[in-house]
Amino acid sequence: LSCHKCCLRNLELISKVRVNTQAVLKRAQHIQGQKIPKKQWQAAWLLKAVTCIDLTTLAGDDTPSNVHRLCMKAIQPIRYDLLKKIDMHSKGITTAAVCVYPSRVADAVTSLKAANSSLPVASVATGFPAGQTPLKTRLEEVRMAVADGATEIDIVINRTLALTGQWEAMYDEICSFREACGDAHMKTILAIGELGTFTNVYKASLVAMMAGSDFIKTSTGKEAVNATYSVAIVMVRAIRDYFLRTGHKVGFKPAGGIRTAQESLLWLTLIKEELGNDWLCPLLFRLGASSLLADIERQIYHHVTGQYAAYHELPMA
């Protein structure tokens, strides 16, 4: 009960939070203007980005075969001969996880098991992407994904609760998802493009972390506005504030619209500058992406050969 009272007190504090919009936009502009590393330093940072990717397929026409191809690409994300040229072929470079719809979890688990891989399977649950199905249904979806072998669950918040300032109700709902996840890691998607203000994003970030989220994630990738540097700054500063207050490190996952190698380098820069080197690992940083890997592999190909590859030279699997 005392813990619940403490939580209510914290939720009351949340209602007083205000974000300085101009300061956030100025900082975001600075991030976008950063110089990115070149040559072997760029290649090293790009490989770091690969190890943080949740390689994702969330299409209406997903089948066991394209999920299988995704899993094989996640296990060997960069062509072996390219890695060998830069002496990285024996470093065990894989993506961080594969991410699929709940109904495709069993397919992904089967493919990875057959390949003798321990790569985690993440699944978007809780009525993704809108989160507008009944709570009972959303909880059952989480439990089914976990039962099928998902070890990471990307949940979506009920945006209505955030937009109407019902922070206690949102906290309770996320706590119920946390319980349904069991031992699986829980990433909470804020759908920042639908939250209206930076202040709402900051408040939602804190509530999600207080309710037990292992990660907070920007977007489903299905909104009109997805991962932006300005919103990311608000979220990572909430993570930093939460860490300073509790000593607990929560991860961050930008997702939606991240397609180029150069963008991935800017995301890594943002994390390094705002949260420090501890967060530059798959345990605390993920990039949600489906097409980003192809561009990173093209850049590695260019670093090794001095030429740009056609996409057919770097197939999915």
Q: Name the residues annotated as catalytic.
A: 217, 253
- Containing 82, the helix (H) or strand (E) segment is helix 80-85
SS3 content of the chain, % helix, strand, coil (to 5): 55, 10, 35
Using alpha carbons only, give the angle 250, 253, 258 rounded to the nearest 5 degrees.
165
Asked if residue 152 lies in contact with residue 123, where contact means CB atoms within 8 angstroms, the answer is: yes
Nearest to 159 by CA among 122, 125, 128, 124: 128
Q: How far apart are CA 191 and CA 159, in angstroms?
A: 8
Strands 121-124 and 152-156: parallel
Q: How far apart are CA 47 and CA 296, in angstroms?
A: 8
Half-sphere exposure of 86 (CA within 13 A, CB side): 22
Sign of CA dihedral 21, 210, 178, 8: negative
Structure tokens of 127? 């009525």
